Amino acid sequence: MDIRKVAVIGGGTMGNGIAHVFAMNGFPVHLIETKQEFADRALATIDKNLGRMVDKEKITSDQKDASLKNISVFLDVDKGVADADLIVEAVPENFGIKESVWKAVDGAAKEGAIFASNTSSISITKIAALTSRPDRFIGMHFFNPVPVMKLVEIVRGLDTSDETYAMVEETSKKLGKVPVPVNDMPGFVSNRVLMPMINEAIFAVYEGVATPENVDEVMKLGMAHPMGPLRLADFIGLDVCLDILNVLYEGFKDPKYRPCPLLVKMVDAGKLGNKTGEGFFSYQ
């Protein structure tokens, strides 16, 4: 089977980026959202980000138009996934939400469809077990901003078949991405390495070693990171960082992953980073 038609469930930051790259690389995309206003917002973001690529002469305005034409919106999961060969889920990182989505998808998708979750930390094996086809289930972990970042971390669950892996690897290459295979363990590789660094940067602020600005300057100028770890934490969302650290802490039962109390306090205060206008830095 060849992957031709793709359904992307969720039009948030990751979902709209994923729909953008599939559509831009010639795949018809069914973008599935729960409300028209969320779908409209996702399409407006895709339009803006394709426009950026036209301005930078990475694509032509004809390619932008063709990409937008490749996207159709569905407000009903059953209809949106029915004839898709690959279904990529990018709904919030909450097991209950993923459970209801995947049960609906399992009942409506055609035989042979491949199921992929963009989860950044929930076990692929555990989500796959919600469906009747864990051999066709895999993690396709994209990175924000999806149109820019080259990596797709491909996460193999316990039962993921070699055929499923091979098809997803080939499809990722068709998107111009670099697929890297990893096994299903808490945080996979990306967040197992990234989140302890971010957490340690927060501890450095908490313990008064340096200001957020200076922690980030050290990492940008000394280690050539494009963004400092605290700016990156704001960009990812401090609630997401906390959730991932908790997955690492509980998954490994190792105190080295304990979230910094300052991170917990900021999430309690609703200071979540870019999306709320304030985190370690202000985005008003």
Residues forming contacts to ligand CAA in the complex (CB under 6 A) are 49, 52-53, 56, 120, 143-145, 147-149, 190-191, 226-227, 232, 236
Beta strand 151-156 with 71-74 is unpaired
89 is catalytic: no
Residue 27 or residue 188: which is nearer to ligand CAA going by CB? Answer: 188
Mark whether 214 is an active-site residue.
no
Nearest residue (CB) to ligand CAA, 58 versus 110: 58
Nearer to ligand CAA by C-beta: 67 or 160?
67
Least separation, in Å, of the C-beta of 74 and ligand CAA? 23
Question: Of the listed 49, 117, 120, 190, which one is catalytic?
Answer: 120
Active-site residue, selected from the candidate residues 89, 141, 199, 278: 141
Under 8 Å between Cβ of 19 and 43: no
Q: How far is the CB of 209 from ligand CAA (least distance, A)?
A: 23
Residue pointed to by tokens 């992957």: 3
CA atoms within 13 A on the CB side of 13: 13
Q: How far is the CB of 275 from ligand CAA (least distance, A)?
A: 13
- Residue 258 token pair: 């304990």
- Work out how close the CB of 237 gets to ligand CAA at its nearest, in angstroms, rounded to a whole number: 8
Given the residues 153, 172, 190, 278, select the one marked as catalytic.
Answer: 153
Torsion, Cα 30 184 13 83, to 10 degrees, reads 0
Q: Which residues pair with 73 in a beta bridge?
A: 31
In the chain, the amino acid numbered 22 is F
144 is catalytic: no
CA angle 227, 229, 235 (to 5 degrees): 70
Active site residue 191: yes
Q: What 3-state DSSP class applies to 16? A: helix
User: In the complex with ligand CAA, which residue's Cβ is closer, 53 or 138?
Assistant: 53
Q: Of 16, 70, 191, 199, which one is the catalytic site residue?
A: 191
Task: Retrieve residue 96's tokens.
Answer: 């209950």
User: Among all residues, which ones are annotated catalytic?
Assistant: 120, 141, 153, 191
